[in-house]
Amino acid sequence: MKCSKNTFSFALKFINVKTSIMKIEKPNRVSHTYEQMINGKIEEIIPLYCPVRELDWCENWNPKLVYSNSGLVEKDCIFITPQGKTDIVWIVTDYDTKKGHVEMFYHVPGVLVTKLEIQVTAITENKTKAILTYSKTSLSNLGDEILDEFTKKEYDIMMDSWEKAMNHYLKTGKMLTRLPNF
């Protein structure tokens, strides 16, 4: 189908009207990546990145509600965690055990959107590399303040705690407690 010159001009005017109403801004976004060495097999590790299974190894983790067909993490799983007076809604957008990939987003309404991406790769039979990346995008002044506090140093402390907690759990079957910034 060919558009006449008049149809094309009308379309351009329509697009210009729509975009003149829409506000488009460059995102204020901060991303940090951390590489962990986990003593275990991918098949043991991937299921632990789950709102239900994290209760086994992640101190102070307390989801309020989990929407899941299987009862565990899966693509399109939604879970809710409390954050003060606001609930955070998490959505799992990818959960591929064969590729060792997990991706989820959470949204704090009017404040920020966060993407968590996890990629695990076998190093040896019982050692796995996990690369975890958090990318936070501000939606407001409060979101900007949160991004200012989301430093690489604080992120590394949190991820080091995750690494220790997961390794301890895989070795002992028990939760490691009193880690910083968990």
CA distance 73 to 76: 9
| Domain limits for position 83 | 27-172
Query: What confidence tens digit (pLDDT) does each residue in 92-139 have?
Result: 999 999 999 999 999 999 999 999 999 999 999 999 999 999 999 999
The answer to whether residue 13 sits within a structural domain is no
- pTM for this prediction: 0.85
The closest of 154, 152, 178 to 165, measured between CA atoms, is: 178
Strand-pairing partners, residue 32, are: 134
The answer to whether residue 71 sits within a structural domain is yes
Amino acid in the structure at residue 15: I
How many helical (H) and strand (E) elements, i.e. helices and strands, does the chain have?
5, 7
The answer to whether residue 138 sits within a structural domain is yes
pLDDT at 182 over 80: no
End-to-end CA, the chain: 58
The answer to whether residue 161 sits within a structural domain is yes
Q: What is the CATH number of the domain that holds 147?
A: 3.30.530.20
> How far is CA 45 from each of CA 34, 80, 169, rounded to the nearest angstrom?
16, 22, 10
Q: Give me the mean pLDDT over the 143-156 stretch.
A: 96
The answer to whether residue 19 sits within a structural domain is no
The answer to whether residue 74 sits within a structural domain is yes
- Domain tally, the chain: 1
**Residue 43 pLDDT grade (very low, low, confident, very high; cuts 50, 70, 90):** very high
The answer to whether residue 7 sits within a structural domain is no
**Pair of tokens at residue 99:** 């590729």
Rounded to the nearest 5 degrees, what angle is found at the Cα of 91, between the Cα atoms of 70 and 35? 100
The answer to whether residue 22 sits within a structural domain is no
Q: Are 121 and 6 in contact (CB under 8 A)?
A: no
Q: What is the number of alpha carbons within 13 Å of residue 144 lying toward its C-beta?
A: 4
CA distance 90 to 158: 19
Backbone φ and ψ for 135, nearest 5 degrees, come out as: -120, 120
